[in-house]
A and B are shown apart, each in its own frame.
Chain A
Amino acid sequence: MKFHTIFRYEFRYQLSHVSTWLLFMVFLLFGFLILRMVRLEDGVYLNAPGTIAFYTVFGSVIWVVIGGLFTGDAATRDRQTRMHPLTYTLPVSKLSYQGARVLAALSLHVLIMLALYAGMLLSFYGPGAKPQLLGPFRLASYLTNFGFIALPTVLAVTAIQFLFATLSGRAIASYIASLVIILFSQFGGTTVRYALEWKVLGSLMDLLGTSIIVEMEGWTPIENNTRLILLEGTWLWNRIVWFGIAVAALLFTYIRFQLAHVTSGATWSDLLGKSKASVRPVAQTQEEASRIRNHSTSRTTIPNVTRNFVFSTYVLQTVAIGWASFKAIAGSRAGLTLVAILSIGTGLFATEYMEWFGVPLFARTQEVLRILAPPLSSYQTQWIIIPLLTIFYAGELVWREREAGLYELSDTTPVPESVLFVGKYIGLALIITTWMAFLVVAGIINQLVMDYYQFELDVYIRALLGIQLTNYLLFALLVFVIHVVVNQKYMGLLVALGAYGYILFASMLGVEHKMLVFASDTGWSYSDMSGFGPFIRPWLWFKFYWASWGLLLAVIAILFWVRSKEGGFRTRLQLAQHRFAQHQGALYTALALVLVSGGFIFYNTNILNEYTTNEAKMEMRAEYERRYGKYEHTAQPALARTQVKAELYPDEGAADLQATYYLVNRSKVAIDSIHLSIVPDLTITGFTFNRTATPVILDEELGYRIYSLQKPLAPGDSVQMSFQMRIGSRGFSNAGVDASVVSNGSHIDSDDWMPVIGYQENRRLRDERDRQTYGLASRPERPSLYDEAARFDTRHADPMDFEAVVGTSKDQIAVAPGALHRTWTEAPSSGSGQERRYFHYVTNAPISHEYAIFSARYAVREAQWIPAVTAGSDSTAKPVTIQIFHHPTHDANVERMVKSVQVSLAYYSQEFGPYPYTYFRVLERPGPGRGMHAEAMTIDYPEGYSLMKPDPGGLDLPYHIMAHEVAHQWWGFRLAPAAVEGTGLLVESFATYSAMQVVEETLGYEHLLKYLSQMRQEYEVPRSRAAPPLLRSNNRFMNYRKGPFALFALRHYIGKERVNNALRGMLKEIPAEPPLLTTLDFYRELQAVTPDSLHYLVHDLFAANTFWELKTENATAKQTPAGTWQVELDVEAWKVTVDSVGRETNIPIQDWIEIGVYAPRAEGEPSAKVLHLQKHRIRSGKQTFILNVPEQPARAGIDPNHLLIDLEMSDNVQKVDI
């Protein structure tokens, strides 16, 4: 009865608050809007159980952050309002008192989550819903997600919040509980699961359900639409564990909680909040008390000090308040420790993330900074703890005097509001500065752990104490102002969290202009080559702009600062009016600064540069297609030769380019007009032709030009076209600055700047739904493998001669495709100029249309490769100069790169034919990526590649990558297949498979296995099984993993030579005229080299999306009287194909599959001795094999080398029981 009464009172009390209803509204709207805005994978319904599960988890994360205050309030309201002497003495049991309250909080939380579901339902079935995106209504989709995801989460979180709040006596502790839960469950769970690979523990730690989300990445659309999250497997255990934790937390709270007088500090708040410490009542003795009376008439003189209220007094007051505020936060348990622990942990666990595919990385500062200095708008980082703690502590500081109850003492002191505001802000700023210092320490620990000893303290200081600190301080200022202006602690917290959420998700909400997202900027990065590069100037302007806003907001906060508990709107307005006169100078200054800086930025982003939203960009692409798509098949001349004169000015970040195109009509019809696609908004001037041409269309906005030739270009005839342009940023745009030309490490990519002949099909919108939205006809993302017409598009395969003269500053080397003819320096044309250096390059064999011009202060490592002259080989093969242009200090991998290039050139030219050029160049450029990029005769790589530091005896990934890129000179440039589905198999899979052979030849088969096992790990990442067959390969995973694995498997069935014959066959088939080759040609080559008995395998590997499910159930062995061993193997085998939406078909097996038996691995041997390894005929289902082996076996199983695609690899081989 009492329980019921308390519960009802508590519940109604919370419902009587506007903020409660506000929260309901927020979640209702969230559920409604997010499912109206979201864009799902093709074929997945909006109301699919998988979708609902995803947004249940998403919603609960948001709820954990913002919704936890009921618990805190329910747990501590009596104490905080000092009503507890009344309530605690009521004849109510502890169980009723606390139980009813926690139940009331829990009920409200459940209602909030129900509001989320109501929002979802409204979104699905309310006005404006799109029934075509919905599947049938299924109650179980809602019940299972709510019951198995949301409800247990809410229960456990509420219990933990209640524990924190009750034991600390402070409602706000439930917010800290939320932070701890998020850190533990999200970042802790993810770290344990992936970085440490303790999968089960990591999954158990995941309270909120992110592990389910990750697993769902591997779901096919059908699974998303039908599969329910049920209590099974690890998830069952997860829920049991968290239910146990919830019960334990409640029990512990129950036991520790006393309905008794609260002596400050007698509780647990040590662990969480502020206040406590050893505060013991101070008793004045009887003696002292009597002395009071005795001396009561005596006079102690108080020195009469003169006080001057001048600027220096205010400075001292500001410092005193700042320091006191700093000490208050620093002294609370979570103030410095959370960030310190996280920093130290981040440093100590460096080896877990400072690696790439198992290869350790050099802990160069530029790389470490990527971990430590995420943008404020990034939520995929553990450092969101910094903004979240900032929000919390800003509230604590603003409310410090009022919560301690001495605001009437402090508010009547002669301290101006501005001093109070600035002083407290300085206190928080000092805390954030300390946090940043922790981050510096984290970086240094990271480098120590990684055995890297070049500590670039100056870079740390500039990045963390310069850039990051500024960002966090601006954010702190905003949060501070919010707390002051809202003047209600929990509402302030919610509003501040809302503001943070806006910063995080602004881009998703469609807010793109950086001037509209507080504290944002156009981004920055640090590079050893180009330093902070050109990013700092716009960064500074944006920060100046936001600091001006900060000043403006601060003045407003000072005007509305409340000096007592009462803060009625009218009173505050009245006070603001009184204070206005005093602060109007600052206010107008701030306004002026906002206008000046904002005006300058707007001038740069919207006037000097075109400001285009994503939507506008999409519209441009759509309009480009609508207007000029009709020219897609209009005959155009081919670009046969390009001549460039480039003047690079690294210090100005600019370059002048003059180019001449030699266009040849290779078609069979006369061409009467020349079409050009130009980068939109790039100003190209001085178009001239060497025959009369008149512009018909000059569309600067979409970037399309048509020049009509007075006299049509006859087949075989040619025309010259010249133009010029200036590369470089005009000021800065909303996207920042273009980093093509920088002080060191310029990289001008032809694709980014140069005009292209004809209509560019690849500019079109690809996504089917986008095309619908913009009213474009349906068209596949890339042309179908069976699209005959697409095979006639040869533009990407056209050969082109190239010549360039590149000038740059005197201390840099400029590089372009071709042999270096000459290099010279030129004196400055005017007195003030600098001496410049020039390079002249000419190709001696055609290259492709994509090329780049580089310039930097490079160190050059040069080597030679001389082709072996063997009988039958091309005797005209010329020696090749290998040049590695690298940043002088990035030299660790240079020798292995040279070696890899040499052996690759040797191997490929022997296997696949001669290398056509006399140079092979590899160039470094600024950037964090690790992959290389191949162009004809030129490979470039971002600095990230040079970070790899293979362990001696470990996987030599840089060697492999280099070999892969060299292989592109054959696969990609010599063989340029049709741009249709499956191209990736012919380009990337071939290159990888070729590189695997180089690795095997030079580093050994063992090393190759190491590579393969590393690459196979990607199979373990959850990935939908739904996919097209390899012949229609359309993604990275298929191109770089599945394709090479299929070739590798086939090689183990038919032999290396036959597979290479098929590859060579492709080169022989290269046609002089279109149509270009496709994977269908390769499939024919494969069938030609494969015996009929294995044609099924070629089909399964390449023409179907096949998965084998192979398993060894049991392996036993006994010794025969002859001394040999008889092994009995129970294996199970199944084979399924999965189509692109996830429909599975069982295929009966009649396959040849390897059965292997292995001896124990001997000491010091890299691998176990093979006792038996043969292909056996396997049928579907369970079967038993009996094998005789000469020695005692240790392990045995089916497909031990994982040749066939089997997602569960660990059960192929079992230990043999004797």
Chain B
Amino acid sequence: MTLQISNISKSYPTGRSTRVVQALKNVTLSIPNGMYGLLGPNGAGKSTLMRILATLQEPDTGSIRLGDPSTGPVIDVLKQKDEVRQTLGYLPQEFGVYPKARAEDLLDYFAILKGITGRQARKEVVEALLRQTNLWDVRRQKLGGFSGGMRQRFGVAVALLGNPKLMIVDEPTAGLDPAERVRFLNLLSELGENSVVILSTHIVEDVSELCTRMAIINKGEILLEAEPLKAIDGLQSRIWRRIVEKSALAQLEREHKIISTKLLSGRTVVHIYNEEDPGNGFEPVTPDLEDVYFSTMAGHIGNRKPQVAL
């Protein structure tokens, strides 16, 4: 199973005048089975891409294909929406519920919508999912009273109905507490064993913990498509650190290409990208995915690099 995204562009009118906002520019990605992280800041176009993949929006141009030509039929995601939906699990960034409905009933209703017609099968699936998302004890409660995390888990249960081959998860960990987040990511990784799971997030840890492949997106463009470990490897001995007083920051900024700053006990930790030792009190650090992310955003690596390098 492969998801092939080719040259997807999408723009929105801004409301006033004829100007448009380019939400996605010529996005091309190839996503195999397994967990795939889509990393980017808020407003980068992640959700737009996710919604297009989830059949909820139409791109202006481009094509998306799901499937492996060698093993079976290939689905044109933009045209064969019904077929996509038959293998799709989608967890939106935020969603509501019918406050009066009970968890079990609403999940059963969704099971029918997902095409699980056998009464017994449905009962088993619903029970298994409620147990797996740890909602079994509250299955007769009304959804209106659920906390954010419980609601999120209910969404996961809905998304998991029908063993999706394409799972799209849009910023799922934003509202979860640490324990729920771990639980949730575990669920996803299990699913990733034989499905395409796309996880969009602005939290670097989500990707570093889970994903075998990733892409970094900003302002509608894919800046980097890589395997996290290889990307980190690529930065070996190129990231340097120095801890300075805040007052010294301005001076440092003029002299070096700072990719990120971070506060640590009131002082500022500065990371810079440099292919050689910059001296000036900088020490080498072992890069992590965050450095990959910031280096990409700053244009040192990835698709924007040539321009910036000039």
Interfacial residues, chain A to chain B (CB-CB below 8 A): 264-265, 274-284, 288-293, 295-297, 299-305, 307-309, 312-313, 316-317, 320-321, 324, 328, 331, 404-406, 408-416, 563-564, 566, 571, 574-575, 578
Interfacial residues, chain B to chain A (CB-CB below 8 A): 51, 54-58, 79, 81-82, 85-86, 88, 90, 92, 94-100, 109-110, 112-118, 121-122, 124-125, 128-129, 131-132, 134, 137-138, 141-142, 144-147, 150, 155, 158-160, 162-163, 179-180, 182-183, 186, 190
Closest chain B residue to A279 by CB distance?
A: B144
A278-B142, A297-B186 known; A564-B56 Cβ under 8 A:
yes
Q: How far is the CA of A320 from the CA of B180 in the complex (A)?
A: 32
- Whether A404 lies near B97 (C-beta < 8 A) is yes
List 9 contacting pairs A-B, 8 Å CB cutoff, sorted by A: A265-B99, A283-B147, A284-B147, A296-B182, A305-B124, A316-B112, A410-B110, A413-B85, A415-B113
Q: How far is the CA of A1177 from the CA of B39 in the complex (A)?
A: 108
Q: Which of A278, A282, A295, A563 contacts B55 (CB 8 A)?
A: A563
Contacts of A578 in B (CB 8 A): 79, 81
Q: How far is the CA of A885 from the CA of B115 in the complex (A)?
A: 66
- Taking the closest CB of chain A, its distance from the CB of B210, in whole angstroms, is 14
Contacts of A304 in B (CB 8 A): 163
Contacts of A289 in B (CB 8 A): 179
- Whether B57 lies near A279 (C-beta < 8 A) is no
- Whether A276 lies near B100 (C-beta < 8 A) is yes
Contacts of A414 in B (CB 8 A): 82, 85-86, 88, 113-115
A564-B51, A564-B56 known; A404-B98 Cβ under 8 A:
yes
Closest chain B residue to A564 by CB distance?
A: B56
- Whether A409 lies near B85 (C-beta < 8 A) is no
Contacts of B132 in A (CB 8 A): 300, 302
Q: Which of A276, A296, A302, A574 contacts B163 (CB 8 A)?
A: A302
Contacts of A308 in B (CB 8 A): 115, 117
Contacts of A297 in B (CB 8 A): 186
Among all A-B residue pairs, the 5 with the closest Cβ atoms:
A405-B96, A279-B144, A413-B113, A414-B85, A408-B92
- Taking the closest CB of chain A, its distance from the CB of B178, in whole angstroms, is 9
Contacts of B145 in A (CB 8 A): 279-282
- Whether B86 lies near A309 (C-beta < 8 A) is yes
- Taking the closest CB of chain A, its distance from the CB of B40, in whole angstroms, is 20
Closest chain A residue to B124 by CB distance?
A: A303
Closest chain B residue to A293 by CB distance?
A: B179
Q: Is the interface of A mostly helix, strand, loop or mixed?
A: loop
- Whether B116 lies near A412 (C-beta < 8 A) is no
- Taking the closest CB of chain A, its distance from the CB of B293, in whole angstroms, is 26
Contacts of B150 in A (CB 8 A): 282, 284
Q: Which of B121, B124, B134 contacts A291 (CB 8 A)?
A: B134
Q: How far is the CA of A858 from the CA of B147 in the complex (A)?
A: 75
- Whether B96 lies near A404 (C-beta < 8 A) is yes
- Whether A412 lies near B90 (C-beta < 8 A) is yes
- Taking the closest CB of chain A, its distance from the CB of B117, in whole angstroms, is 5
- Whether B99 lies near A275 (C-beta < 8 A) is yes
Q: How far is the CA of A782 from the CA of B81 in the complex (A)?
A: 73
Contacts of A321 in B (CB 8 A): 113
Contacts of A292 in B (CB 8 A): 134, 179-180, 183
- Whether B125 lies near A574 (C-beta < 8 A) is no
- Whether B117 lies near A409 (C-beta < 8 A) is no
Contacts of A302 in B (CB 8 A): 125, 128-129, 132, 160, 163
Closest chain A residue to B113 by CB distance?
A: A413
Q: How far is the CA of A574 from the CA of B155 in the complex (A)?
A: 30
Known: A296-B182, A307-B114. 18 other contacts (CB 8 A): A265-B99, A265-B144, A275-B98, A281-B146, A281-B147, A293-B183, A295-B134, A296-B183, A297-B186, A305-B118, A307-B115, A317-B112, A320-B109, A328-B98, A331-B100, A405-B94, A409-B159, A413-B114
Q: How far is the CA of A564 from the CA of B53 in the complex (A)?
A: 13
Closest chain A residue to B96 by CB distance?
A: A405
Closest chain B residue to A332 by CB distance?
A: B100
Q: How far is the CA of A278 from the CA of B117 in the complex (A)?
A: 31
- Whether A313 lies near B117 (C-beta < 8 A) is yes
Contacts of A281 in B (CB 8 A): 145-147
Closest chain B residue to A412 by CB distance?
A: B90
Contacts of B54 in A (CB 8 A): 408, 412
Contacts of A411 in B (CB 8 A): 55-56
- Whether B155 lies near A409 (C-beta < 8 A) is yes
Closest chain B residue to A299 by CB distance?
A: B190
- Taking the closest CB of chain B, its distance from the CB of A255, in whole angstroms, is 25
Q: How far is the CA of A1131 from the CA of B160 in the complex (A)?
A: 92
Contacts of A288 in B (CB 8 A): 134, 137
Q: How far is the CA of A291 from the CA of B183 in the complex (A)?
A: 11
- Whether B56 lies near A412 (C-beta < 8 A) is yes
- Taking the closest CB of chain B, its distance from the CB of A12, in whole angstroms, is 16
Contacts of B141 in A (CB 8 A): 282
- Whether B113 lies near A566 (C-beta < 8 A) is no
- Taking the closest CB of chain B, its distance from the CB of A696, in whole angstroms, is 75
Q: How far is the CA of A411 from the CA of B51 in the complex (A)?
A: 11
- Taking the closest CB of chain A, its distance from the CB of B280, in whole angstroms, is 45
Q: How far is the CA of A180 from the CA of B122 in the complex (A)?
A: 43
- Whether B183 lies near A412 (C-beta < 8 A) is no
A312-B117, A317-B113, A413-B114 known; A301-B128 Cβ under 8 A:
yes
Looking at A317, A413, A564, which has the most chain B CB atoms within 10 Å of its CB? A413
- Taking the closest CB of chain B, its distance from the CB of A686, in whole angstroms, is 68
Contacts of B82 in A (CB 8 A): 309, 414, 416
- Whether B110 lies near A413 (C-beta < 8 A) is yes
Contacts of A563 in B (CB 8 A): 55-56
Contacts of B57 in A (CB 8 A): 564, 566, 571
A331-B100, A409-B155, A412-B54 known; A282-B117 Cβ under 8 A:
no
- Whether B100 lies near A406 (C-beta < 8 A) is no
Q: How far is the CA of A297 from the CA of B141 in the complex (A)?
A: 26
Closest chain B residue to A319 by CB distance?
A: B112
- Taking the closest CB of chain A, its distance from the CB of B39, in whole angstroms, is 22
Q: How far is the CA of A566 from the CA of B55 in the complex (A)?
A: 12
- Taking the closest CB of chain B, its distance from the CB of A216, in whole angstroms, is 49
Closest chain A residue to B190 by CB distance?
A: A299
Closest chain A residue to B122 by CB distance?
A: A305
- Whether B90 lies near A409 (C-beta < 8 A) is yes
Looking at A265, A276, A408, which has the most chain B CB atoms within 10 Å of its CB? A408
A277-B100, A410-B110, A563-B56 known; A296-B186 Cβ under 8 A:
yes
